[in-house]
Amino acid sequence: MLRETCGQLGRLRPPPGWLECSRPPPLKEVKDARKRKTGVATPVFRASTTAPVNIAVIKYWGKRDATLNLPTNSSLSVTLSQRSLRTLTTASCSAAYPAVDELTLNGNPQDIQSSKRTLACLANLRALRQEIEKADSSLPKLSALPLRIVSENNFPTAAGLASSAAGFAALVRAVADLYQLPQSPTDLSRIARQGSGSACRSLMGGYVAWRAGELADGSDSLAEEVAPQSHWPEMRALILVVSAEKKDVPSTTGMQTTVATSELFSTRANAIVPARMTAIETAIQNRDFPTFAEITMRDSNGFHATCLDSWPPIFYMNDVSRAAVRLVHDINNLAGRTVCAYTFDAGPNAVIYYLEKDSSLVAGTFKAILGTALEGWSGPFYEPVKNITDSGVPLDQVDSRAVDVLKSGLSRVILTAVGEGPVSVQSHLVGEKGEILSSS
């Protein structure tokens, strides 16, 4: 619950004065701590966590409330393994820090005071800590101390790989751990949602739904685990990285354009997606890959159709993306069954889902086409593919134009799998004296 200046946990709309709430209050004990005599170390409190990337199979696109990041439709994602893709974040606080909160991302200081989303997250987390401190006066007043947050991704930022989702999930989880908050991942998902909508899904592992909700205050717009990683651990993903450059049209801008101008948008959000959510959740519970795959591909196509129907039209996919689509359909046709599925977020990179037992058919075919010289054919999920020397399907029967485009259009691949949610770690990006460190 967020009482007093920051409202209630169920009501996360930033109240009047919320920017001030996001900053540490100028309490006397903070000033006193800074006046400690020379030679007495000022304590630095730290907590670190890793958080995963998630890739939606039912896409979130469009907002009914931009301030609270409330979506127009529900969505569902697969949490990817942190052995391949993760954000590492250390949240720390100390009276020795400058008075204003600080955030460093991949070695670059960020202008945190200009980010209303980040400030909203920190305001809500601080208010929760204040409630704990009021209930137990013996606890250190961490909510009054300035924050120093340091975060590193092991993948390109803003390149269609859900970096903001992993980043805000890691930030919220790390600060929650620093403040020793008792809230559940579902409770915290309401806060992470305000930073980046899809971040709420990265607070859990396995297969995760973000319920759109209906209430104006957003209290019923939250993430829920549909099934844990252990329910269907055989799910694999091959990511074809077309570009690591930032998108021409940022997701937030694209959503606003689509909502305002696409005639297809409302039909997708109100009629198509609800039915697909029910069907894909059933497919996951039944471990029914063919149904999971068809829904995944159809929803990706429908999402990008609304982008094309926007005015002016929005192009996230490119020729390399479309070549991957053709190749997936060719593999399925030649295999005589559905063994793989593509999906594309707001970017050109393809995520190809398949089951581990079909590694030779799917990953083996892409490996034969792309060659092992392309970066990424390594890592913890490469073993089932390592000794595959032949294509899973006859290459002379697939679209030769798609093969040529893929050969020259990719910068790397990433082999990964369904994974777990955030993990608390002892590898800190802030030293014991408050200095910024690097994980490399």
Nearest Cα residue to 127 out of 49, 202, 194: 194
Residue where one domain finishes, among candidates 197, 229, 261: 229
Q: Supply 249's token pair.
A: 């049209």
| Domain residue limits at 54 | 45-229
Nearest Cα residue to 197 out of 405, 396, 21, 54: 54
Distance CA 233, CA 219 (A): 31
Contact at 8 Å (CB) between 284 and 278? Answer: no
Residue where one domain finishes, among candidates 199, 229, 259: 229
Please check the confidence at residue 435 and state whether its pLDDT lies above 60: yes
Residue 282: inside a domain, yes or no? yes
Distance CA 226, CA 56 (A): 13
Residue 31: inside a domain, yes or no? no
- Taking the alpha carbons at both ends of the chain, their separation in whole angstroms is 38
Residue 149's pLDDT band, with cuts at 50, 70 and 90, is: very high
When mean pLDDT is compared across 286-290, 346-350, 351-355, 426-430, the lowest value belongs to 346-350
Q: Supply 136's token pair.
A: 């137990």
Residues 338, 402, single domain; the answer is yes
Residue listed under structure tokens 């894909």: 280
Residues 57, 193, single domain; the answer is yes
Residues 262, 138, single domain; the answer is no
Q: Is the dihedral of CA 370, 373, 374, 380 positive or negative?
A: positive
Distance CA 146, CA 180 (A): 16
pLDDT tens-digit readout, 331-364: 999 999 999 999 999 989 999 999 999 999 999 9
Q: Which residues pair with 204 in a beta bridge?
A: none
Give the up-direction half-sphere exposure of residue 205: CA atoms within 13 A in the CB hemisphere. Answer: 19
pLDDT at 160: 56
Residues 327, 391, single domain; the answer is yes
pLDDT tens-digit readout, 35-65: 444 456 899 999 999 999 999 999 999 999 9
